Amino acid sequence: MASYLTDLRKLIGNRLILLPAVAAVIRDEAGRLLLQEKSSGEAWSLPAGAIEPGETPQEAIIREVMEETGLVVTSTSILGVFGGHEFRYVYPNGDQVEYVVTLFKCRVGDSSGVWTDSETKSIRYFTQNDMPQLALPYPMSMLFGQG
């Protein structure tokens, strides 16, 4: 995706782009939610990322979670699709994006324990009461709800 976005950014600069993306809700046995701390100092987030050209959303969520957490997952359901003004984000370099995010509930199958994405500083499970504010406003009912 880096080359696709890089090429697109060369054409349009840091102007707003609409970007299809995926995000994972991964909870442990205690019901805590897995979050990713960004190495750039940005807000914490769900394991998430853009869908690459030619890639299905299901393929994208498996790839993104592996890259950002080192976990092998399967998606078990779609919790919702989010977008609009509340899902606009401006990166530290000024790039503007408005995400259309498919939110997947995922189950962990295996862990290599090693993430390959340089954007990840750390990963950690949080309860609803102790989690930091996320970069995007996902509904808490989707993150910690039953199902």
Q: Per the domain annotation, does 132 fall within a domain?
A: no
How many domains is the chain built from?
A: 1
Cα–Cα distance between 108 and 113 in angstroms, integer?
12
Q: Per the domain annotation, does 144 fall within a domain?
A: no
Q: Per the domain annotation, does 140 fall within a domain?
A: no
Q: Please state, rounded to an integer, the average pLDDT across all residues of the chain.
A: 90
pLDDT at 3: 76
Mean pLDDT for the stretch of residues 108-133: 83
pLDDT at 40: 77
| Element containing residue 5 per DSSP (H, E) | helix 2-12
pLDDT at 119 over 70: yes
Mean pLDDT for the stretch of residues 3-13: 89
pLDDT at 62: 95
Q: Per the domain annotation, does 120 fall within a domain?
A: yes
Q: Helix or strand or coil: residue 43?
A: coil
pLDDT at 146: 59
Q: Looking at residue 6, what DSSP letter applies?
A: H
pLDDT at 51: 93
Whichever domain contains 52, its CATH number is 3.90.79.10
Q: Per the domain annotation, does 78 fall within a domain?
A: yes
Q: Helix or strand or coil: residue 98?
A: strand
pLDDT at 118: 75
Mean pLDDT for the stretch of residues 65-94: 93
pLDDT at 39: 80
Of 95 and 117, the structure prediction assigns the larger pLDDT to 95
Cα–Cα distance between 94 and 91 in angstroms, integer?
5
Of 133 and 3, the structure prediction assigns the larger pLDDT to 133
pLDDT tens track for 12-42: 999 999 999 999 999 999 999 999 998 877 7
- Domain hosting residue 83, numbered range: 2-126
Residues 54 and 96 sit within 8 Å (Cβ to Cβ):
no
Q: Per the domain annotation, does 136 fall within a domain?
A: no
Q: Per the domain annotation, does 59 fall within a domain?
A: yes
Q: Per the domain annotation, does 84 fall within a domain?
A: yes
